[in-house]
Amino acid sequence: MAQKTKIARKSDVYYLLTFFFVISFGYFYWVGNYLLFFQEQQSLFIFSGEYFQEYILKPGGFLELAGKFLTQFYSISIVGSLILATILTLPAIVLLKINQRLFSNKSFILLLFIPSSLLLLMQTHYFHQIEYNLGFLMVLLYFLISILVQKKNIRLFVLALFPLFYYLVGAYAWIFLGMYSLYNLFFEKRMLRFVYPLFLVGIATVSFFVFKEILFLQPSEQLIQFPLPIVDDKNHKFILVLLTGLLVLYPLLCKIAFLIKPKRINTRPFILISALIIFSITILFLSKFYNSQTARVIQLQKLAFEEKWNEVLELHENYPSENLIGQYFYNIALSETDQLCDRLFNGRQDFSANSLVLPWSSEHLNWGTYFFYSVGLINEAHRWAYEEMVVYGLRPQNIKLLVKTNLINGNLEMANKYINILKKTIFYNDWAKEFEGILNNPGLIKSHPKLGEKIKILPKEDFFIQISDPQNNIPLLLKSNPNNKKAFEYEMAWLLLTKDVEAIVNNIKKMKELGYSRIPLHIEEAVLIYFNSKGQFPDLGGLSISNKTQVRFQEYVATFKSIRQNPSFGNKKMEENFGNTFMYYFHFE
């Protein structure tokens, strides 16, 4: 009968492990998949000796390298979710083996899932990399190996491998040092409880100074901290301290649990209720930590990087982003689909003209290049992409942009350099080969549907770029290439968002020469506002205002006059009926 109970208890643990795996997988596959894209875009894993050398010359570098190797598979959501779920579940499995060793197979189950649950919560932050999880997992594995061996000589040999462990995982070795020392104090007998910790501390001290002064010449701060998580978020920092403290004190907690009598706390009801509480709290905090706006911005960025412009428009219009970067990518998508002055107010615009052009700063290096690339300022787009590469390292998007900008500018040798970088990756190899085909036949560049269009709108004359006020480059670009329709629409969008109706109507006469057969919708609305104020139409350069726009403007004016008696109700009605018009933006935003 006792044997049946024991088997049931083991099977319960395996069911709970499976349940935790499913929770983790489900979260990252269906809810937090934006994290996979964001983290995959933070680095580029290259199969080359030079790339590997960058990591093997510092303690903890191998751990970081392993993390980046796994992160590249986030390109496929289901694979990335499986990897994360596996890495997050493994600590609980290792702790199960540790508990069985400490309790002579009378495993204390309550503590198994807490570290994995804490790691899962930490992983919800977009700057929490998978190598952080690997670091804690390696600590537990080394601890398990160190307590499994019984013979003194073999135990000393395992501890003598600490310098290798320190080299592989970096500062995570200090967590192992604390954990193992406490284990000896509470579980070893007589003098051995002091011999093993002192032996380990001696090896750790020697390793630190050898690494610092002889082998790697690293500063003390690097050897003490790298590659521990450094995420500027109070919740993440709190969980990190909690997790680290839990692991260091784990032997003590196990000792206390053993004194409580494992039979009482390992009954099936206690196990299931405890696990249910832990999982419920974890799911509650997963929900609390989820930020729909962050997810939306990253999803917009993903669609923009994939050049799925219509999907960018649909996402922002149906689920508006309240973030500057989200609205910036919406405006980029409008430009790339030639709808900037027709559809500008179909999506939320909270930042006036600031969402059209991002200022030069390290904060915006990831994204600022896309405006310049869209309007044909390819040299400036190249500079932003190159600066991003220098500051943040090789990333898929900055290398792709450097390939395209060099092809457009005819710098084939440099384009080849960046293509060869992408050819040494798994998931960007096909893209690199496609552009290598263009590189090998330069005549294809001008006929390429995307590169060719950018060549047509390049500046015809050189001018000095305005770095501090990048919007001032638009008039300079138009002066250099008056036929650049995208630059013209950006200028008009800037005037719309700054409500400069006079300047808008003064530019309409240029539109026919630029190839317009009709006036874009929001510019028509600006003309009607001008007419309503001045009593006369401006020079439309041979174009006209559509009847549909005139009818809607009359409806707007009539509704606007009728709401004066009930402004609070009226404002809501105006937004519902006219929220996607320049008239509404002009009067209410």
Q: What is the pLDDT of residue 568?
A: 66
Give the residue with greater pLDDT, 494 vs 560.
Answer: 494
Q: What is the pLDDT of residue 313?
A: 98
Beta-strand runs (E) in 235-338: none
The mean pLDDT of 559-567, rounded to a whole number, is: 79
Residue 411 in this model has a pLDDT that exceeds 70: yes
Q: What is the pLDDT of residue 107?
A: 56
Tokens linked to 453: 């269009």
Residue 487 in this model has a pLDDT that exceeds 60: yes
Position 388 confidence tier, pLDDT thresholds 50, 70, 90: very high
Residue 9 in this model has a pLDDT that exceeds 70: no
Per-residue pLDDT tens over the stretch 316-371: 999 999 999 999 999 999 999 999 999 999 999 999 999 999 998 888 999 999 99
Per-residue pLDDT tens over the stretch 249-281: 999 988 887 777 656 566 777 778 888 899 999
Q: Which range (239-248, 252-261, 484-493, 508-517) has the least confidence? A: 252-261
- How does the average pLDDT of the chain come out, rounded? 93
Tokens linked to 458: 């390049």
Residue 309 in this model has a pLDDT that exceeds 50: yes
Residue 7 in this model has a pLDDT that exceeds 60: no
Cα–Cα distance for residue pair 129/80, rounded to 1 Å: 12
Q: What is the pLDDT of residue 189?
A: 84
Q: With contact defined as beta carbons under 8 Å apart, do 23 and 116 qualify?
A: no
Residue 504 in this model has a pLDDT that exceeds 60: yes
Task: Enumerate the domain spans of the chain.
Answer: 2-290, 499-588
Q: What is the pLDDT of residue 450?
A: 95
Position 468 confidence tier, pLDDT thresholds 50, 70, 90: confident
Residue 6 in this model has a pLDDT that exceeds 70: no
Residue 20 in this model has a pLDDT that exceeds 90: yes
Residue 204 in this model has a pLDDT that exceeds 80: yes
Q: 301-308: which pairs have CB atoms within 8 A and are 24 or more residues apart?
A: 301/37, 301/38, 301/325, 301/329, 301/367, 302/34, 302/37, 303/329, 303/333, 304/329, 304/332, 304/333, 304/370, 305/41, 305/397, 307/336, 307/450
Q: What is the pLDDT of residue 438?
A: 97
Residue 105 in this model has a pLDDT that exceeds 70: no
Burial 385-413 (b: 16+ CB within 10 A, else e): bebbbeeeebbbbbbbbbbbbbbbbeebe
Q: What is the pLDDT of residue 572?
A: 82
Cα–Cα distance for residue pair 159/327, rounded to 1 Å: 55
Per-residue pLDDT tens over the stretch 472-481: 999 999 999 9
CB neighbours of 397 closer than 8 A, spacing ≥ 6? 41, 305, 366, 385
Q: What are phi and psi of 515, to 5 degrees?
A: 100, 10
Q: What is the pLDDT of residue 254?
A: 84
**Number of neighbours of residue 538 by Cβ within 10 angstroms:** 18
Of the candidates 281, 318, 279, 265, the residue with the CA atom closest to the CA atom of residue 296:
318
The mean pLDDT of 411-428, rounded to a whole number, is: 98
Q: What is the pLDDT of residue 5?
A: 45
Q: With contact defined as beta carbons under 8 Å apart, do 75 and 427 qualify?
A: yes
Position 8 confidence tier, pLDDT thresholds 50, 70, 90: very low
Q: What is the pLDDT of residue 230?
A: 92
Q: What is the pLDDT of residue 270?
A: 74
Q: What is the pLDDT of residue 1?
A: 40
Residue 4 in this model has a pLDDT that exceeds 60: no
Residue 2 in this model has a pLDDT that exceeds 50: no
Per-residue pLDDT tens over the stretch 444-460: 999 999 999 999 999 99
